[in-house]
Amino acid sequence: MSLRRILQLLVVLGILSLSAFQASAQSANYRFNVSKMELQVYVQPDASAKLVYNIEFKNSPGAHAIDIVDIGLPHGGYDLSNMKAAVDGQPIRDIRRSTYISTGVEVHLQGYQIRSGQSGRFMFECTMPDMVYRDTTDKQYASLQVMPTYFDPSIQEGRTELNVAMHLLPEVNAQEVKYQNEQYKYTDLVLFGEGQAKHPVAIWQYESMLLSQANPKLAISFPSTGMQRVIKITAWGLFMKWFRENPMVQAFSLGGTLLLFTFTFFRFSHGTGIVLFLLLAGIQAFLTFTSPVLNLLAWPVVAGLTLLNERALRRRKRKGQYLPAMATVEGGGIKRGLTAPQAAVLLELPMGKILTLVVFGLMRKGVVQKLQDDPLQVKVLPEFVGSQEQRMRKAAEAGQVLHDYEHAFVEGLERCDGPVKSCDLNNALSGLIQSVVNRMAGFDLKETKAYYQAIIARACKEAESLGEVQQRDEVVDRNFEWILMDENWIDFFERLARRGYRYRPRWDRPDWQRRRGGSGMGPVIVINSGGPVGGGSSVPSSGGGGGAELSGGTSLKEVAASFAGWTENTMASLASAIEPAKIGLGGGKSGGILDLSAVDRVTADVFEALAKEAAKGGRSGGGGGRRGGGGGCACACAGCACACACAGGGR
């Protein structure tokens, strides 16, 4: 069946349903006044309570006959067999579970309907079990709470005189009876009856009110003397009872946990995994909606997940972690072939170090040339100014490879006339980070990190193990950027210095600079315990603790700062030029912990396959409807256990 056909059927069904609803509403044009309602509540020793209603109806002229009366009850544990009803003294035996209100019964008046313009006195009596509870504030006391039934305010006319009387056991001392709410304190407390049947009666009188869901919750506490049984309930049990009896509160609770779960999920996944979120949220909504207990338990579970997620995100921020969530797969294998700057991003090294690695790499490839040491300033060589294709061709002619992410850095440096720290390279850094995210898709993050950490350790170990200067130069030249990624790279060069070895990067040696038309007076990597040495390539020192003799035209400033110190200062300087908010990945905002976009794709594929199968062999069906309505009981009392005689709805 085509989508268009389905939409047409839905529209037709909607119109028919609306028409049926309107016809039903017009045919059931109830309009009446409840001039007076009396409720007598008789406490029984077995914790039950007998409820007796006397309700005076006056049906409005032209209104539908009052043929059914709905009575709300405190809970669903009632027994239809102990119920009685009458209209003007004539017994009514057709009493059923209500289809209009959630908790209550409907009395079908049959031949004793109250017709348009007529009045009638309706009586209803039942015994409700489990109505008297032990007071949670005083174990020697019992408590009872009732809320009179009500009717739909939209079909009522005028107001009602309401009288409620609670009859306690004769053993109860009237002076020990307590009200539970100042607002709904009983109007009077009297003794009723003769002889041994004399007992306290708490009375509430309301001369004029509109019966509705806002009916007062009337509650008292009294000594449990004479009670053979009371319902024992803890404060938590009382809260659960109140929670179960309040669908609106459950709905708000469900909405709150869903909002918190939504916040946590998308903070965790950095906005990915929408399909998975909808599935999980649907399961959560179904479980919590059908079970009040699960509804409440969802709060500590979701709140705990939120706290764990926020702690993890704060830990990432403290550690300088800035990578967004990545679609990695445990057991997906190692992603090989990352460059040193890309591996540094994967390991989430400081951004200043990553930018330094990129610039050093461009200098090593001969794409840019150092003009100034402090602050570091470079220029793009003329042959690399132009389009990406031209740069790649020139690099290939020189035996070098320019990676895709490096073009953005070259273009950023080309536009900049000042020191590197003043150049806007945020977009270039963002592209570098995203290139790592893309290349890691489907691979094992943990194994890949361990792989590159091993490369860094091996580069340092290999350079330290060699004794000949020329061989060590070759190894350090080849692994220079990987060595700088080591956490203790300064200590590495200091250990070599104590053995009388000094190192200058290839791109900063005089012969290299002369070939490029630049200056060869850069600083030297930590040389020996006596201090740095400028000039020449890597050479062993003469030993001893004194300062080594300086060669070339090295300035006093260059002597004062070793290459290690200069590099460290350069990293810090470049880090200050980075704006995390402009990079758009981490730093300024949380980058999430796990990328679930791959789950989205897989789930979408599954649903698409299921939809295709359903389209091939599915059948359309329909269902019926029946009348229903609101009502129910929303009651609670502070400091006591209680039950409510309430509900709503009248026809």
In 3D space, the residue among 243, 239, 238 whose CA is nearest the CA of residue 135 turns out to be 238
The tens digit of pLDDT for each residue in 282-293 reads 898 888 888 888
Mean pLDDT along residues 215-243? 88
- Tell me how far apart the alpha carbons of residues 642 and 185 are, in angstroms, rounded to a whole number: 16
User: Going by C-beta distance under 8 Å and a sequence separation of 6 or more, which residues neighbour residue 241?
Assistant: 233, 641
When pLDDT is cut at 50, 70 and 90, the band that residue 607 belongs to is low
1-15, 145-159, 314-328: range with lowest mean pLDDT: 1-15
Length of the chain: 651
Rounded to the nearest 10 degrees, the angle between the axes of helix 292-318 and helix 247-269 is: 30
Task: Work out whether the CA dihedral 278, 280, 283, 287 comes out positive or negative.
Answer: negative
What per-residue confidence (pLDDT) applies to 226? 93
Q: Which helix (H) or strand (E) holds 199?
A: strand 199-209
Q: In this model, does residue 267 exceed pLDDT 90?
A: no
Average pLDDT value for residue range 368-372: 85
Quick one: 121 exposed, middle or buried, by C-beta within 10 A (0-12, 13-18, 19+)?
middle
What is this structure's pTM? Answer: 0.47
* pLDDT at residue 81, rounded to an integer: 95
The CA distance from 133 to 237, in Å, is 11
Question: Is the pLDDT score of 259 beyond 90?
Answer: yes
What pLDDT, on a 0 to 100 scale, did the predictor assign at position 96?
96
Instruction: Evaluate if residue 352 carries a pLDDT over 60.
Output: yes
- Binned at pLDDT 50, 70 and 90, residue 299 comes out as very high
Question: What is the C-alpha to C-alpha distance for residues 50 and 167, in angstroms, rounded to an integer?
Answer: 10
pLDDT confidence of residue 603 = 59
| 411-469 confidence digits (pLDDT tens) | 888 888 888 888 888 888 888 888 888 888 888 888 999 999 999 998 888 877 776 66
Domain boundaries, the chain: 29-231, 244-318, 340-583
Q: Is the pLDDT of residue 584 over 60?
A: no
What is the average per-residue pLDDT within 173-180?
A: 92
Amino acid at 439: R
CA gyration radius for the chain? 42
The confidence band for 271, taking pLDDT boundaries of 50, 70 and 90, is confident
Please report the pLDDT score of residue 435 as a whole number.
87
CATH T-level assignment (fold) for domain 29-231? Immunoglobulin-like (2.60.40)
pLDDT at 320: 55
Contact by Cβ (8 Å): 618, 350: no
Q: What is the mean pLDDT of the chain?
A: 78
Look at residue 544 in the predicted model and tell me its pLDDT. Answer: 33
- 649 pLDDT band (50/70/90 cuts)? very low
